[in-house]
Chains A and B, each alone.
Chain A
Amino acid sequence: MRVLLVEDNFIAALDIVARLEALGCTVIGPVGAVSEALEWVERETFQGALLDATLRDGNSVPVALALQSKGCKLCFITGYSNLSYLPDSLKEVRCLTKPIDMNTLQEVVAGFGAS
């Protein structure tokens, strides 16, 4: 399963990459910027994506919308308690709080795999 990881905390991202790989995922990333992530979304397809909500060049809403339109399953990761700026179409997307609990991550990946 190809999973895109968009996260600008590199050290935390390395850990997530290791966990995702242990769960059998092929991880693209970590990608740390909205602009770079959008390039990836345009070029490739993913079954699932983990998106840090706030990146150094803005929030990841545009990336999420682009992925959603391509049928990719999503999950936000964030250090904030609530993401008030999410548009309605993204309100139902699951949101994990940092630091990420690895059992929960496993659930999310299982959800990416389900059709």
Chain B
Amino acid sequence: MDDEDKTKQELIAELRELRLEVEAGRRAEKTLRAKQEQWLLFSLATNDMLWNWDFSDNSTERSIRFETAFGYASDEVTPEIDWWIERLHPDCKDRVMSTFSEACDSGASRCSYDYQFRRRDGSYADISDNVFLIRDAETNEVVRALGAMSEVSERRRLEAALRASQQRFQLWSVKSGGEAGKASRPGQQHESRQILNEADHALRLSTAIVENMADGVVLTRKRDGIIALTNPRFDEMFGYGSGELAGQPISIINTSDSPDARANVVQMLTALEEVGSWRGEVENVTREGESLWCHATVSTLENSIFGTVFVAVYSDISEQKKVARRRELLTRELDHRVKNNLATIIGLASQTANRSDSLEGFVKTFVDRLHALACMHEALAEGGWTGLGLDEIVERTMSPFASAARPIHAEGPPFRMASSQAPAFGQALHELATNAAKYGALSTAEGRVDISWSTDESGAVVLQWKERGGPPVSASPSSGLGLRLVKGLIESEIGGRATFSFPADGVQHEIQIPGRAQ
């Protein structure tokens, strides 16, 4: 019986204990339910996305806002921590993870960071995450982390607008002598509505400037090289329709892959990485595949909508490039001409010297020949090297030999001689006139020279030189330098033909210049 009593009492005690345990369990359950209700209420009461990461089993509890704020279905939000890590923007991931682990190692109880978090539709939300670290009392190791993620896109946009407004306002107040600056006295800056209004106006203003500026502007996303935005001038410069380039890779305006072009791009990206900006000349390509040289100024900018972007301002410098090329060509041509003229002068000097009896005779003949050369050069230069009328060549070359008492008769249809032929032709005429002045019709008061020419439809011209009233023509002076020069200049230099005849009553020469057909 004693044993029975004892057993009974033990059983009662056990039952009581059991009941106590059940009660404790019920209480615990009640507490748990209350806690869960609290968590739900808290998550509903705040706009933040709350999370609770338990290091012991690496699971994470996430508030319902994760679904509503980012567009995920409830079964798409899973408790693994990787769910969150995978949705961090690639550009932010390393920074966020290292900030977090540094905070854990440092013994801190809080940390916070900003990053971009991927929504279900693939776009990114700007997030500011405030984290509370719970540590083990003995080891001080982090055992849990709790955080509140708040979306800051809207706030950032307003902040950026405000900043832009203030900058433009300062600029404006400098330009207008401070009048506008008074409107942003510190006391009024707190009137956010007015400032946002200003920000709005400033944005409209800067938008209008960008839309209407003469330079092309393009915003390119750093992470994928996709064009986010262009202004109308940029589209027009490259031959695209307005807005057509947005969404295209920026490489669409790159020239076909050449080592030079690639080196240029590498240099640009390095500069952007290191100093945040780059300026220089780039060769691009239009929609039609034509080369377009531009001067580009590129800088890096953080943008709440597009992330890190390259902002580039392009000005078309193809016209300057063309002018520079033309100048280079002209300089080269001028250099060529100067050298050729020097060679001519040296030739004239040595040839004239060979045939001169005296220094005075040499100087006169040589200087006269140089004058004839200079005279043609001057006439061509006045006309911009577009050629010269035959009548003008004759008049200019013969004028030193003409006088009121003895005019030179020249007659013929309009004919324009090319710049490349006129100097040799003028020099040849000069030699004929010099001979006439020395031995022929121009050596007497009564003598005269008639010059006439005719042209045909091919552009060929035949010029007749006839002398009358001079002393009787005796020997054929074709051995002299003068006629040798005439023949060489006309035949070798122009590709024409010079024939001389020596009737007793006056020489008759004929010069043929071939037409375009030859």
- Which of A's residues lie within 8 Å of B, judged by CB? 8-16, 18, 30-33, 54, 56-57, 78-81, 97-100
Contacts and interface: CB of A to CB of B under 8 A. Distances in A.
Interface stretch (B29-37, B75-83, B340-348, B394-402): B340-348
Nearest to A32: B492
A9 B336 CA distance: 12
5 contacts: A10-B489, A14-B484, A15-B350, A80-B335, A81-B332
A18 B340 contact: no
Contacts of B351: 11, 14-15, 18
B403 interface: no
A13 to B, nearest CB: 7
A92 to B, nearest CB: 23
Contacts of B447: none
Most chain B beta-carbon contacts within 10 A, residue among A8, A9, A10, A81:
A10
A98 B342 CA distance: 8
B68 interface: no
Nearest to A81: B335
A32 B43 CA distance: 97
Nearest to A80: B336
A40 to B, nearest CB: 13
A79 B495 contact: no
A61 B413 CA distance: 39
A78 to B, nearest CB: 8
B230 to A, nearest CB: 39
B339 interface: yes
Contacts of B339: 79, 97-99
A12 B340 contact: yes
A56 B493 contact: yes
A33 B491 CA distance: 10
Contact of B344 (A9, A32, A81): A9
Contacts of A99: 339, 342-343, 346
B340 A9 contact: yes
Interface in B346-378: 346-348, 350-351, 354
Return the 4 tightest CB-CB contacts between A and B, nearest first.
A12-B343, A79-B339, A32-B492, A15-B347
Nearest to B492: A32
B248 interface: no
A99 B343 CA distance: 4
B493 A98 contact: no
Given A32-B493, A33-B495, A56-B495, A14 B347 contact: yes
B292 to A, nearest CB: 25
Given A32-B492, A79-B335, 4 more contacts: A54-B336, A56-B420, A79-B339, A81-B332
A12 B344 contact: yes
Contacts of B493: 8-10, 32, 56
A102 B335 CA distance: 21
A15 B352 CA distance: 10
Interface string B478-518: 00000011001101111100000000000000000000000
